[in-house]
Amino acid sequence: MKKKVLSALLASAMVASMMAGCGGNTTNTPASSAGQPSSQAVQPSSAAGNDAAEGKVLNIQVWNEEFANRLADHYPGFEKADPKDATKGGKIGDVTVNFIVTANKGNAYQDQLDAVLPGNASLEADKKTDIFLVEADYALKYVDADVNVAMPLSELGISDADLSKQYQYTKDIVTDANGALRGASWQACSAGLIYNREMAKEVLGTDEPAKVQEFVKDWKTFNDTAAKLGEKGYLIEASVNDSFRVYSNNVTTPWVKDGKFTIDDNIMKWVDDSKVLYDAGYTTTDPLWDGSTWKGGFQSNPKDTKKVFAYFGPAWFFNFSMGADTEGTIANQGGWGLTTGPQGFFWGGTWICAAQGTDNPTLVKDIILTMTTDNAVMKEIAQKDSDCVNNKEVLKELASDASGNLAILGGQNPYEMLAKGAELVDMSKTSPYDQGCNESFQTVFKDYFEGKYKTKDEAVAAFKTAVGEKYPDLKEMLK
């Protein structure tokens, strides 16, 4: 009898433990901050904030700590749950703020959005996503009017007049087909050519931005300069993938338009130009971020790799990505200069979208307005975080005095140029397929540059196959 009871117990324990593994997904785990003392003294700045009717939890979908830091540092009344780590969330008044961080690698962030956004309205109040962030590359996917996962800003009560200081391109990216705006950004990421001053002096005889510009003013002169640099054993750019963004930002037709798939001439020009540069040994096919030459170029004396003359990037790139706070980098010694380069372009930026179904519309509205339109807050962001902010007035101010001079650029004030660049960015040539197409194009043509495809046509065919796999709905157009 004892045995029987024991075995019954064992068997049920086994089954029960297994079931526990299967079900029990009742506890969604955003980085919450229970047990945080809430002080009622601090109230959100301008908004009515937390009406009794509104939710007590604000869930924000992000892919890194950037927005968490911006919000924690600059939104009035934000109390961090953990002083060292803003992504742990905190409190605004008596509303708990949670950041749900999903790293971008391998499309994971978009998968997360795809999973939570469509059914957001029907979730329990505390589990609803209230704000999500998007990047330019895939913004169109989420601001689509039919999909309707991002609220039109007008529904939140934000008018066009509120956003008048923002650059047009930052609005175009998050405008749906019916012209409704569904997001806003605090950054303007117009970019330029970042060049090595020392090398410019040695080879080109000058390091003044305006004069260096003469040597890189269009792609033809850029390629001629590459040869000059190549004679000295320098690379004009670290990788062909660096300039891809510049070419692809300046297309005349988007990848997909009116049911037609087009590879733009400017992109094919990138192929031809890059092939010449690569074959001559003036650049490499390194991946961005990980490539040894690409990373080595930040050092004033790179080991085992050739020195690099120029990178293409916006303010956040030279401020954060070039290792300015590490000894031995060019940025650390203030050895970079910034000029317009062959063609204007932009790179990156983060847009704030209000999730359809949010139960905190007033607070969301106030966050969007404060972070993307408030002059004082934005100037603070620009000065504390060196972001190039999406505010014409603030940029003008920064350009006009020495407060905008940057040590990384050897004291150069880049803001006038960046502001001018932001006016010129043209976003009408984007399609929701851009990210996938651009990625596949670079992957396939890396093999072409390295001679693995015999002809360009072969590579183009391979590219179309890859696109067809990613986007089955384009298959008919690709034939």
Q: Does 164 bind other proteins (CB under 8 A)?
A: no
Q: Which residues of 230-252 are buried (b: 16+ CB within 10 A; e: fewer)?
A: beeebbbbbbbbbbbbbbbbbbe
Q: Residue 1 burial (CB < 10 Å; 0-12/13-18/19+)?
A: exposed
For position 18 contacting other proteins by CB under 8 A, the verdict is: yes
Q: Does 291 bind other proteins (CB under 8 A)?
A: yes
Of 305 and 372, the one with the shorter C-beta distance to other proteins is: 305
Phi/psi for 299 (5° steps) reads -80, 150
Q: How far is 223 from 277, CA to CA, in rounded Å? A: 7
- Rounded Cα distance between 127 and 29, Å, is 10
Nearest residue (CB) to other proteins, 33 versus 293: 293
Single residue of 107, 326, 375, 400 touching other proteins by CB under 8 A: 107
Q: Which amino acid is at 467?
A: V
Check binding of 357 to other proteins (CB under 8 A): no
Judged by CB under 8 A, which of 93, 313, 421, 436 binds other proteins? 436
When asked if residue 446 is in the footprint of other proteins (CB under 8 A), the reply is yes
Binding status of residue 361 toward other proteins by CB under 8 A: no
| Count of positions on this chain that bind other proteins (CB under 8 A) | 43
Among 167, 346, 453, 463, binds other proteins (CB under 8 A): 453
- Min CB(461)–other proteins separation in Å: 10
- Token pair in block for residue 284: 């490499």
CB of 339 to other proteins, least distance (A): 29
457 binds other proteins (CB under 8 A): no
Say whether 407 sits in a helix, a strand or coil. helix
Which lies closer to other proteins via its Cβ, residue 157 or residue 451?
Answer: 451
b (16+ CB within 10 A) / e for 320-344: eebebeeeebbbbbbbbbbbbbbbb
Q: Minimum distance between the CB of residue 11 and other proteins, rounded to whole angstroms? A: 4
Given the rule CB under 8 A, which of 26-34, 224-232, 247-255, 449-457 is the region that contacts other proteins? Answer: 449-457
- What is the side-by-side order of every strand in the sheet holding 90-92? 78-80, 90-92, 95-101, 57-62, 129-135, 350-354, 184-185
317 and 267 Cβ atoms separated by less than 8 Å? no
* The two structure tokens encoding residue 26: 């009742």
Considering only the stretches 205-213, 292-300, 384-392, 414-422, report the one whose residues sit in contact with other proteins under the rule CB under 8 A: 292-300
The neighbour count for residue 361, using CB atoms within 10 Å, is 18
- Residues found near other proteins in the complex (CB under 8 A): 7-8, 11, 14-15, 18, 22, 106-107, 114, 117-118, 141-142, 144, 146-147, 149, 285-286, 291-293, 296, 304-305, 432, 436, 443, 446-447, 450, 452-453, 462, 465-466, 468-473
